[in-house]
């Protein structure tokens, strides 16, 4: 098998496995605890930690929301402190996402078009099946609150920097990579970069944060992802929520398994992207 076919086969197998994972998580029991949210930059300032935060907007007009559930804050402090002792600086790329943020992120031009290009590459067709594209989007940018643990306030996306010069540790690709390099244990990532991914994961695991196997930057705790991956048998204590940062109010999202997008919306974006692609 030539290199391109190997990469295509690996990408397709990982994406199919991830979609099966999402299906199982969708049905995983959740007993939402109603716990409040905490603003991570305030935590960092109080603890005197070296932690960086992404300065980019998640989508146009929406700033990132660097919040985690209150019960995860001691673990976050522990992670940041351990990284500092290793000469590293944790950079939080993303935290809590509202349903609006999650919905718009999946249709964001740079994200959507990149996934579309990968599916065109995967299938070697000019106009891929919309159902297949939707499944790939669901894996890389969750398309329902139940399976998007950023919407539970229990997940963070991270990069790690060298404290001495703030250069990024090489994990084989930058945040946010959407390719066959994206799964945590991708064989197409250089060995040293894989070791770095696993060393970072070891630190996160020590404080109970579990890696999402299909993205090398995403970690979460005490939600449906984590309980399923840990095979704990316990219901998740953190589920999909609406959160108002001004009042601090946390409320459960009803029917969180319902999709944020319709196939018609995805098809419309496909047609728009293909028109731009054909126009050069």
CA angle 243, 245, 250 (to 5 degrees): 30
Instruction: Give Cβ neighbours of residue 52 (< 8 Å, ≥ 6 apart).
Output: 89, 90, 91, 92, 161, 166
3-state SS, residue 91: strand
Q: In the block, which residue shows the tokens 């126009």?
A: 279
Return the pLDDT at 280: 65
Picking from 177, 175, 172, the residue whose alpha carbon sits closest to that of residue 192 is: 172
Residues of the chain with pLDDT under 50: none
Q: pTM of this prediction?
A: 0.95
163 in a domain, yes or no?
A: yes
Residue 84 covered by a domain: yes
Sequence-distant (≥ 6) Cβ neighbours of residue 274 within 8 angstroms: 126, 127
- Residue 220 included in any domain: yes
Residue 203 in domain: yes
Q: How many Å apart are CA 215 and CA 218, to the nearest integer?
A: 6
**CATH at 53:** 3.30.1380.10
Note the helical H segments in 141-223. 191-206
Number of compact structural domains in the chain: 1
**Domain span at residue 267?**
3-273
Question: What DSSP state is assigned to residue 57?
Answer: -
Asked, for residue 278, whether it belongs to a domain, the answer is no
Residue 197 lies in a domain: yes
State how far the Cα of 101 lies from the Cα of 149, in Å rounded to an integer.
Answer: 13
Flag whether 279 is in a domain: no
Please tell me the chain's helix, strand, coil percentages from 3-state DSSP, rounded to the nearest 5: 45, 15, 35
Residue 37 lies in a domain: yes
Residues in the chain: 280
């Amino acid at each position: 098998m030539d290199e391109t076919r190997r990469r295509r086969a690996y990408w397709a197998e990982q994406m199919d496995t991830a979609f099966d994972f999402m299906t199982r998580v969708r049905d995983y029991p959740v007993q939402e605890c109603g716990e409040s949210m905490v603003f991570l930059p305030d935590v960092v300032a109080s603890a005197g930690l070296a932690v960086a935060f992404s300065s980019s907007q998640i989508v146009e007009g929406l700033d990132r929301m660097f919040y985690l559930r209150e019960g995860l804050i001691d673990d976050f402090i522990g992670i940041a402190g351990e990284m500092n002792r290793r000469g590293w600086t944790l950079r939080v790329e993303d935290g809590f996402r509202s349903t609006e943020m999650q919905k718009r992120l999946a249709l964001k031009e740079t994200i959507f078009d990149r996934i579309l290009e990968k599916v065109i590459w995967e299938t070697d067709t000019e106009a891929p099946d919309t159902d297949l594209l939707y499944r790939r989007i669901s894996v890389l940018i969750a398309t329902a609150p139940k399976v998007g643990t950023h919407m539970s306030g229990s997940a963070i996306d991270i990069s790690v920097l060298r404290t001495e010069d703030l250069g990024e540790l090489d994990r084989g690709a930058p945040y946010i990579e959407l390719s066959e390099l994206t799964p945590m244990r991708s064989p197409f990532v250089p060995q040293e970069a894989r070791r770095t991914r696993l060393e970072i994961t070891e630190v996160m695991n020590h404080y109970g944060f579990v890696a999402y196997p299909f993205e090398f930057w995403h970690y979460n705790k005490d939600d449906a992802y984590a309980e399923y991956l840990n095979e704990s048998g316990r219901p998740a204590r953190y589920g999909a929520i609406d959160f108002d940062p001004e009042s601090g109010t946390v409320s459960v999202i009803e029917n969180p398994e319902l999709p944020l997008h319709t196939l018609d919306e995805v098809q419309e974006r496909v047609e728009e992207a293909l028109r731009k692609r054909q126009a050069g």
